[in-house]
């Protein structure tokens, strides 16, 4: 999506460790009007898929998931990164490696909020190695839910996570796909 | 706010340790249409305050902050709970005790996204002892930002955090204020 690519070129900052920082508009400070426009694109792409619920993962996916949910008129469920005292023991659980944070999280969703009658659209900000997305797909599989696809803001395509998941037959739509990224700049697919 | 009180009475679950679970509609699964209605009330309350930015804290505040931001047409900044590899070292930092999770988090906001020209509306889901809100006020003070007030979904008024903060001259507006809560039920102020 041209608008997002241009914004990444303007405001994205490449950090050591192959990290792209877009926290001025996407995942620390959120330019809500701009992100809402991106979310409308997820609606265009998935509007005929009978989505019943949007699944994301805390923390930075939540804002865009809620904005996207307004177009679909469905609820959001966000996977939590650890077991907390106000979550029931009745949950689905999966492991997710985070490239950005270089750690592995246990993510959980209450069984009550992910069921076999759900048709799930997964929304997330980044797709690199695919750890978070794979874990969310795992949660959906445990629930017997149908995954209609995943809407991703920024895919670092050269890291291969997206294509690995596509090869499983999962529809993955990324609004910006980075082909290469280094100190000379960013090239999109 | 009557609608929220009724929803809490219908769907809220009181857990041991004086915890009110509202994760079926507010902070695990999010009933986006319903929450958006609540957020419109924050707009009614603060629309004349020249808000330039909404500040919240990850994770459960982010969705409602983004929905609220749409009414004000301003960006959201969410305080993060730990230093991560894609955050610059240039941040404001404060300590927040979480009643729900029974732990203390260091919360941070990049200095770039909270400035002395900002007029901040703080949004959060719960206010009990006031740990998170106090920490966010601390971040704003460090930045020299003006806080126009705080919009809270559910205040456990009997825990005193809200009134302690009001006594500092901070405007705190809570959509549901719980006077008492036990196995017999919930009473609102």
Strands B76-79, B53-57: pairing kind: parallel
Could you give the count of Cα atoms lying within 13 Å of A8 in the half-sphere of its Cβ?
A: 25
pLDDT of residue A53: 98
Whole-number Å distance between alpha carbons of A99 and A131: 8
The 10 Å Cβ neighbour count of residue A97 is 16
- Give bridge partners of residue A92 from the DSSP assignment: A109
Here the tokens at position B76 are 């959201």
SS3 state at A52: coil
Here the tokens at position B19 are 């915890």
Cα–Cα distance list, B87 to A184, B63, B68 (Å): 21, 21, 25
**Smallest Cβ distance to A59: which of B62, B73, B102?**
B62
Q: How confident is the model at residue A88 (pLDDT cuts 50, 70, 90)?
A: low
- Give bridge partners of residue B178 from the DSSP assignment: B156, B188
B14 has a chain A CB within 8 A of its CB: no
pLDDT of residue B103: 79
Q: Scanning the structure block, which residue is given the tokens 């889901």?
A: B125
pLDDT of residue B85: 43
- The interface predicted TM-score (ipTM) is 0.94
- Which A residues in the span 49-88 are in contact with B, Cβ-Cβ below 8 Å? 58-60, 62-67, 69-70, 73-78, 80-81, 84-88
Whole-number Å distance between alpha carbons of B39 and B12: 19
Q: Scanning the structure block, which residue is given the tokens 């509202």?
A: B22
Q: Scanning the structure block, which residue is given the tokens 């241009």?
A: A6
Residues of A within 8 A of B63 (CB-CB) are 62-63, 65-66, 76, 78
- Which A residues in the span 117-176 are in contact with B, Cβ-Cβ below 8 Å? none
Size (chain A), residues: 189
**Smallest Cβ distance to B28: which of A33, A77, A100?**
A77
Contacts of B104 (CB under 8 A, 6+ apart): B95, B96, B97, B98, B131
Q: What is the pLDDT along chain B (189 residues), one digit of tens a residue?
A: 899 999 999 999 998 888 999 999 999 999 999 999 999 999 999 999 999 999 999 999 999 999 999 999 999 999 998 755 445 578 999 998 877 677 788 999 999 999 999 999 999 999 999 999 999 999 999 999 999 999 999 999 999 999 999 999 999 999 999 999 998 899 999
Question: Which of B11, B85, B143 to mutate: most A Cβ within 10 Å?
Answer: B85
Strands B119-127, B146-156: pairing kind: parallel
Contacts of B118 (CB under 8 A, 6+ apart): B52, B53, B140, B143, B145, B146
pLDDT of residue A86: 45
Nearest to B141 by CA among B101, B92, B97, B183: B92
Report the gap between the CA of A48 and the closest CA in chain B (Å).
20
CA B26 to chain centre: 12
Measured torsion, CA atoms of residues A96, A101, A102, A104, in degrees rounded to the nearest 10: -30
In order, the DSSP letters of B103-150 are EEEEEEEEGGGS-TT-EEEEEEEEESS-HHHHHHHHHHHHHT-EEEEE
Contact in structure between A63 and B30 (CB atoms under 8 Å): no
Contacts of A16 (CB under 8 A, 6+ apart): none
pLDDT per position as a tens digit, A114-149: 999 999 999 999 999 999 999 999 999 999 999 999
Report the gap between the CA of B60 and the closest CA in chain A (Å).
8
pLDDT per position as a tens digit, A146-178: 999 999 999 999 999 999 999 999 999 999 999
Q: What share of chain A is helix, strand, coil (3-state, %, to 5)?
A: 35, 35, 30
């Amino acid at each position: 999506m041209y608008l997002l690519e241009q914004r990444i070129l303007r405001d994205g900052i490449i950090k050591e460790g192959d990290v792209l920082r877009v926290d001025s508009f996407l995942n620390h400070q959120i330019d809500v009007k701009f992100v809402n426009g991106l979310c409308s694109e997820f609606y265009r792409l998935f509007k005929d898929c009978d989505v019943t619920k949007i699944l994301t993962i805390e923390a930075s996916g939540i804002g865009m998931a809620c904005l996207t949910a307004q177009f679909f008129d469905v609820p959001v469920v966000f996977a939590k990164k650890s077991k907390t005292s106000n979550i029931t023991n009745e949950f689905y659980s999966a492991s997710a490696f985070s490239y950005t944070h270089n750690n592995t999280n246990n993510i959980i969703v209450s069984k009550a909020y992910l069921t076999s009658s759900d048709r799930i659209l997964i929304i997330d900000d980044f797709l690199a190695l695919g750890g978070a997305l794979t874990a969310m797909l795992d949660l959906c599989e445990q629930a017997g839910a149908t995954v209609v696809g995943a809407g991703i803001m920024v895919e670092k395509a050269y890291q291969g996570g997206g294509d690995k998941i596509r090869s499983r037959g999962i529809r993955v739509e990324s609004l910006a796909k980075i082909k290469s990224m280094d100190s000379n700049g960013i090239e999109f697919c």
